[in-house]
Amino acid sequence: MSRSSSKQSSQPSPNSLVAECLNRFKIKDMNEWSGVNADLIITDPPFGIDFSGKPDNYNRDAGRVVDGYVEWSADTYERKIDQLLDCLTRNLGSAGSGLIFSGWNNSNVIHNQINQHSDLHLEGKLYWVYNFAPYCRKRPAHNVYEIYWVVNNPTTYFYSNECSTAHCTSGESNLSALVFKRDYKKGMPKYPTRLPFGLLRCLLEHYSEPDSLVFDPLAGSGMVGVVAEFLGRDYLLGDLNRNAKGVFQNLLEHYHDSASSDTYEQQMRE
């Protein structure tokens, strides 16, 4: 991982590196965070539907999906999103950006709450296009995530025109549509939701700089932290589910063990 790979004789052991990373994952409610002063907040809130991520049509063994995920009910979703936006307001730096993922079900709720939130400015919307695992025999699959880009100040945020993923190296630098495949880790403990490495790499490289502080108050599997660690960003994660931290550890160890492979490095850019 890049923040440690440049060190020679004093390079820490893999075990101590993972232990240090785990200290950045706090078991904490999003409403308890204040003053993080993050340069970038990336978060993927619950869907607000009847979802557990365990059915076998999600291309996963239900026995490997950890317990403890709490879905937000439809009747409380608006209030929860408002609390999430308050969390961003309290914890974004003056030039910070926030990226909020949304499935199609409650996208209108997120959009409306952002528009009503006087302390955040909706700078734009991105779309993640992905392969969808469940079979859809009776209707087309909804295979697009919306990503709301909010800022504290529309004149001071950081943005880079380039990234090292296939999004920019093999195509146009256009954040309107991000095409990244979902990455299914078979045989590993799973969290109901997990964003792919390549997508997060693209976003971190466009919206943050080396040593920027990246924060996710609804971290789940901790993939935001995994990618931030690999790219040399500082980071802080929070989630109420203690079992999610174990998934984060497994992912850290997996990517750390695979980081020396040129083939794997290419896969993490796609």
Residue 3 belongs to a domain: no
Question: What's residue 64's pLDDT?
Answer: 62
Q: Which pairing describes strands 213-216 and 92-102: parallel, antiparallel, or unpaired?
A: unpaired
| E strands, the chain, in order | 25-27, 38-43, 92-102, 121-129, 144-151, 177-179, 213-216, 234-239
Rounded mean pLDDT, 117-127? 93
Q: What is the pLDDT of residue 168?
A: 87
| Residue range 25-39: mean pLDDT, rounded | 97
Q: State the maximum Cα–Cα separation within the chain, in Å, rounded to a whole number.
A: 59
pTM of the model: 0.85
Does residue 17 lie within any of the structural domains?
A: no
Domain-located, residue 121: yes
Residue-range definition of the domain harbouring residue 213: 23-267
Confidence band for 204, pLDDT divided at 50, 70 and 90: very high
Burial letters for 119-143: b for 16+ Cβ neighbours within 10 Å, e otherwise?
ebeeeebbebebeeeeeeeeeeeee
Residue 8 within a domain? no
Dihedral angle at the C-alpha atoms of 66, 197, 82, 207, nearest 10 degrees?
Answer: 160
pLDDT-derived band at 218, boundaries 50, 70, 90: very high
> Is residue 12 domain-resident?
no
- CATH number of the structural domain spanning residue 148: 3.40.50.150
Distance CA 221, CA 60 (A): 15
Report yes or no on 58 lying in a domain. Answer: yes
Return the top range by mean pLDDT from 172-176, 180-184, 246-250: 246-250
Does residue 2 belong to any structural domain of this protein? no
In a domain, 148, yes or no: yes
Of 90, 89, 95, which Cα lies nearest the Cα of 116?
89
Give the pLDDT confidence of 44-93 residue by residue, as tens digits.
998 655 554 555 545 555 556 667 767 788 889 999 999 999 999 999 99
How far apart are the C-alpha atoms of 103 and 147, rounded to whole Å? 9
| C-alpha span between 244 and 237 (Å, rounded) | 11
Residue that is written with structure tokens 């607000």 in the block: 48
Asked whether the beta carbons of 247 and 66 are under 8 A apart, the reply is yes
Number of domains in the chain: 1
What is the distance between the alpha carbons of residues 56 and 203, in angstroms, rounded to a whole number? 30
pLDDT greater than 60 at residue 118: yes
pLDDT digit string, tens, across residues 123-168: 999 999 876 655 556 666 668 899 999 999 999 999 998 899 888 8
